[in-house]
Amino acid sequence: MEANPATAFRRIGILGTGLIGGSLLLALRRLLPDAEIAAGAPSERTRAAVRASGAASLVFDPAREPPAAALAGCDLAILAAPPEAVCRDLPALRGAEIGLIVDVASVKGSVMEAARGLGNFVGGHPMAGTEGVGFGAADPDLFRGAAFLYCVPSDYAAGPERLDALLALLRALGMRTFAMDAAVHDRRLALVSHLPHAAAFALALAAARAGDPILAELVGGGFRDTTRIAASSPALWTDILRASPELPAALDSYVETLRRLRAALDPSVPPDDLRALLGEAEAYRRAIPEGLHAVPHA
């Protein structure tokens, strides 16, 4: 019988209430109306918005109240911050009275290393998001149908019951759970998340630097769809892209693919070469689960 999240997690703490943390806060409040949920946010403006939402039982300032103290007594603590901040906060939670700690950063290798020795930590990453920024963009339905990737460290010692309860909670929020090694996670995410963001930023940058003021008035669906995620937070994605260990190799592969496309445009090259490249790409895109329908994105 699957664990009951309502009985397993009576007190939950969330450190970080931006798009992902805020969406988790709203989704958890809807799923667990009787749970005590503490939410930490460094901005007074964000704390005021969280209070106004009524989703948190307690709102705290991490700069004034150390996370180890604010999250003490929680059955579950969720670190919803960029990789660098998660790596900074994890060592301070060693020995804190917390049942289970999970993060939601999109890089896992460095996070798992920072969590070494905790014993009650599980690395996590929900494959969901939008270009929206902050608690104002939070959506309790953000995670429906999304994959949640999780990494169980070799020194995990909190017991299978807590892990089972976490997975049951994630599924109750509408997510599909996948266990994954941290190195495999980072290699895969470099291709399907970090590289697309880098490519979208680069495409928007190329248009911005073209020096043509009329371009923005001419864009259609192709440019809008391809560059939508370039409207994401530069501060957040600077942290993520620099922390992604496999992104340089993914970028090198992408640049080489662009070179092949460029070579196929040469008038001396048969059009079948370009058609074959585009056909291979089309087949892969159409083979993605749920086809061309809208799905949660990261």
The Cα 59–Cα 41 span in angstroms is 8
The Cα 133–Cα 45 span in angstroms is 14
Identify the pLDDT of residue 258.
97
Q: Any idea what the Cα angle at residue 178 is, between residues 189 and 115, rounded to 5°? A: 70
Identify the pLDDT of residue 288.
87
pTM flag (> 0.85) = yes
The Cα 5–Cα 267 span in angstroms is 62
Among 56, 221, 21, which residue's Cα sits nearest to residue 133?
Answer: 21
Q: Split the chain (298 residues) into runs of 10 and give each run's mean pLDDT.
A: 80 96 97 96 94 95 91 96 93 93 96 96 93 90 95 95 96 96 96 96 96 92 94 93 97 97 97 97 89 43
The ranges of the chain annotated as CATH 1.10.3660.10 are 185-287
Identify the pLDDT of residue 293.
41
Q: Which CATH number applies to 5-181: 3.40.50.720, 2.30.30.100, 3.90.180.10, 3.40.50.300? A: 3.40.50.720
Q: Which CATH number applies to 185-287: 1.10.3660.10, 3.30.1180.20, 1.20.120.160, 3.30.60.50? A: 1.10.3660.10
The ranges of the chain annotated as CATH 3.40.50.720 are 5-181
What is the identity of the amino acid at 190?
Answer: A
